[in-house]
Structure 1
């Protein structure tokens, strides 16, 4: 099954899942005020440090930096 997945998606199931988690984490960083740890757990990472490293490898920046530079909901709340 893994070989078929890789043939059709052009990546391994583990890499695909990691990318999907990182992309969902990015969406939540912008749209919620939840902590990075809470968001990491929500998308399926139990270790926030691992989540941060994986996020950085996909997006090129830390989750905290991503939230700051993309005007996440936390910034809107802080300005109110």
Structure 2
């Protein structure tokens, strides 16, 4: 079957920064773009069986929250026809 595929990209704290421009910056599929800031991500899984949720927090070098994104288990399943 088919199902949605998500690519979550986070940088290691020791990496340099990056600036999005052109098509990369204007990508309509980008849900969160953190550029020009060192960051890392914290992944949390919660919920009971068959109702799980993934929450990703993007944090700066001092632990400050730069952004957040989440998705439920149901959103990762192939839609029934």
| TM-score under structure 1 length normalisation | 0.28
* Higher strand proportion: 2
* Higher helix proportion: 1
